[in-house]
A and B are shown apart, each in its own frame.
Chain A
Amino acid sequence: MLSVKNLQVKVDDKQILNGLDLSVNAGEVHAIMGPNGSGKSTLSHVLAGRDGYEVVGGQVLLNNENLLELSPEQRAHKGVFLAMQYPVELPGVNNMSFIREAINSIHRARNEEELGTIEFLQRIRKTAALLQLDEKLLKRNVNVGFSGGEKKRNEILQLAMLQPQLAILDETDSGLDIDALRVIAEGVNTLRSPQRAIILVTHYQRLLEYIQPDFVHVLLNGRIVRTGDKQLALELEQKGYNWIMEEDAA
């Protein structure tokens, strides 16, 4: 589904990604781990099409289509979803209307019918309940006055509502207590499907106790230096990143 080849990205003339390769198939869950500054967030942002990143080499294909040519909204229409590390507040914009507008924008772009009001309400209530998200938050303005945990759950709510093909979760676990983490993980697990790929970008192994990845990649200095299974994550948890850095340098 997703094929990243030799991706090189600069931010303000500083090279952040140095020839990153990544291949993700439908139905798979990939964890991308790495220390601070390794390029994790850059990768998430470049895949979603955020401004401010200069792609100086390599390619990114989604279902054999050049993703880098597309605007962020076009990527969303193709089924790319990014759960943000720092969800943004939209004062005055009702959460439910926002999510509905997002769904309908995607439907319109695909020439599909818009979602009916009743169906939408049923789905969003069910999803909110699954994520133990207070229904009151649906009526509030997007992320305004939400706690850190509520913001993250609101991201997963949107993910579940938009049903993307490729879901990227950027440090969704950061700043969450263990209960919130469990709820979110359960939410994500219900979204696993043979048609969908999930990329978990994370600093810690903790999240992977609840969401079992098929592959674990270690991102270091803008490249994936090691790929393994869940064992690799546990190893990192015990030994930290230093041993890989040393081996990589050697």
Chain B
Amino acid sequence: MSSAQQDVLKTVQTNDQSAIDDLIKTSYQHGFVTDIKSDTFPAGLNEDVIRRISSIKHEPDWVLNWRLKAYQRWLSLEDPQWAHVVHPDIDFQAISYYSAPQKNPALKSLDEVDPQLLEAYSKLGIPLEEQKALSGVAVDAVFDSVSVATTFRKNLADAGVIFCSISEAIQEYPELVKKYMGSVVPYSDNFYACLNAAVFTDGTFVYIPEGVHCPMELSTYFRINAANTGQFERTLIIAEAGSYVSYLEGCTAPMRDENQLHAAVVELMAMDDAFIKYSTVQNWYPGDDQGKGGIYNFVTKRGACRGKRSHISWTQVETGSAITWKYPSCILIGDDSVGEFYSVAVTRGYQQADTGTKMLHIGRNTSSTIVSKGIAAGHGQNTYRGQVRMMKHASNARNHTQCDSLLLGDQCAAHTFPYIEVMNPDAEVEHEATTSKISEDQLFYCRQRGLSEEDAVSMIVNGFCKEVFKELPMEFAVEAQKLLSLTLEGAVG
């Protein structure tokens, strides 16, 4: 064989690797900054800042006092170190705690929304108008920290459903907010939950009255926009007896060099026979190829199945953020209540995820299901951390946990930390875990049939995540699959 031919052969062999490297570096597609004038506080946190936030929002004294208590508590706490993630210390005084688009009137329709803002949404592939018309989803768009557009109010109001920003709820439905805010995640719960309670600027409030099946899926798109502004969302969903609600949360953020802190709190409350389905697709900026920048996503999400036969189901697809630290959990208080957690978490580049759930079984015959699919590529670190606790009175409680990890390449890692505590002899806990790689055989098989390597990986990874995707509402499932394919294009080494 001539040396030219040998060169050709060599090229064929190395070609794959360089194609893979190129694809791994596929840049973040949602990286742009919308030029909307923002009214932003200078960086720094003290009681004054909290008073100013509260006063801008015309909050009653009890909210301000609650914030101040949270702030005092926060001052006494240390930044948690137990998660399997590494990041430089966060300078909380370098963050601005309030940023609002300057034009901020109460809007009746989308026509009144700043056109630039609408354009920003359409760049993200989520045109509000279409979204509204096509899918019948009511969208409460959160742009930075203040809600600017709330749609489908009337239909929901006819059903008696309240779907508004939490600031508005504080004004309009103070009794409900006072009764439930902090009842699932107390202001003192943990470091980031405390911070959120002190400085939360907006978020969503949902109230489904007794016996009402919410007529449409409720959705909020979050978008972090102003530089250096931590976003502290607070969401509260209450489902009264016999009601049903499905809530979708989806997020993307523009490219930034500085790390942006996001510390949200989500509280769910389900009464007798109520069902809350909460779905998340998270695609915030993960940082660049060297691991610079990206969102710190430190979230506290918890649902209380307070009523008998109540049911809370969390589904999350986490593909973005430099660091993800979240454990959507269920406290199963009511007898026969059900908690579910379905998760896909992807880490590539230098992303780190420490995510999982807590299932706390208190009532009798309570059951929970955990399905976690972790995918690590590049230098990604992917950790599942889950706690299943069967309390003394939780007779016949059941848990099934399925925890699978898929590794793409040899620089990444998957970790699993299951904590199981059983204090009732009737309780049953099952934990299954697997770790696998996409095999050469599988890739060759797909490619022999004509699929490109990227398509093959995407198909196999989507297959791996199928159990979770099928829990998502239809439009979201499609979006999640696309997102996953984009995220992992060619990420096999």
Do B1 and A58 touch (CB < 8 A)? yes
B459 pairs with A82, CB closer than 8 A: no
Least Cβ–Cβ distance between B468 and chain A, in angstroms: 10
A102-B456 Cα distance, complex, nearest whole Å: 10
A69 an interface residue at 8 Å Cβ cutoff? Answer: yes
- Interface assignment of B447: CB less than 8 Å from any CB of chain A: yes
Distance between B160 CB and nearest chain A CB, rounded to angstroms: 40
B486 at the interface (CB under 8 A from A): no
Chain B residues closer than 8 Å to A52, beta-carbon distance: 440
**What is the chain B residue whose CB lies nearest that of A93?**
B463
Flag if B463 contacts A72 (CB, 8 Å).
no
Report whether B449 and A51 are in contact in the complex, using a CB–CB cutoff of 8 Å: no
Q: Is B452 an interface residue (CB 8 A)?
A: yes
With contacts A69-B12, A72-B447, A76-B449 taken as known, whether A105 is within 8 angstroms of B455 at the C-beta atoms is yes
Question: CB distance B450 to A76 under 8 Å?
Answer: yes
- Cross-chain contact B463 with A90 (CB below 8 angstroms): yes
CB of B15 within 8 Å of the partner chain: yes
Interface positions, chain A 61-100, Cβ under 8 Å from B, are: 66, 68-73, 75-77, 81-82, 84, 86-93, 98-99
When the two chains form their complex, are residues B9 and A141 in contact, meaning their CB atoms are under 8 A apart?
no
User: A98 to B459, Cβ gap below 8 A?
Assistant: yes
Instruction: Tell whether A51 pairs with B440 under 8 Å between CB atoms, given A71-B447, A109-B450.
Output: yes
Structural contact, A90 and B445, CB atoms closer than 8 A: yes
Contact partner, B450, options A51, A66, A93, A102, Cβ 8 Å: A102
Interface size in chain A (residues, C-beta < 8 A): 42
Cβ contact within 8 Å between A50 and B444: yes
Distance to closest chain B CB from A15 (angstroms): 14
Name B461's closest neighbour in chain A (CB-CB): A92
Are A105 and B464 within 8 A (Cβ)?
no
CB-based contact B448/A82 at 8 Å: yes
Contact: B12 with A92, CB < 8 Å? Answer: no
Shortest distance from the beta carbon of B434 to any chain A beta carbon, whole Å: 10
A103 to chain B: which residues have CB within 8 Å?
450
Chain A residues in 8 Å Cβ range of B467: 92
B462 / chain A contacts, CB cutoff of 8 Å: 92-93
A76-B450, A93-B460 known; A87 vs B1 contact (CB < 8 Å): no
Q: Which residues of B contact A82 (CB under 8 A)?
A: 448
B449's nearest neighbour on chain A, judged by CB, is A102
Given A68-B9, A72-B447: 18 more A-B contacts, CB < 8 Å: A68-B8, A73-B448, A76-B447, A76-B448, A81-B448, A84-B448, A88-B442, A90-B445, A90-B459, A90-B460, A90-B463, A92-B460, A92-B465, A99-B449, A101-B455, A102-B450, A105-B449, A105-B452
Q: Which residues from chain A sit less than 8 Å from chain B, CB to CB? A: 48-52, 54-58, 66, 68-73, 75-77, 81-82, 84, 86-93, 98-99, 101-103, 105-106, 109, 141, 158, 162
- Give chain B's interface residues, CB within 8 Å of chain A: 1, 8-9, 12-13, 15-16, 439-442, 444-453, 455, 459-460, 462-467
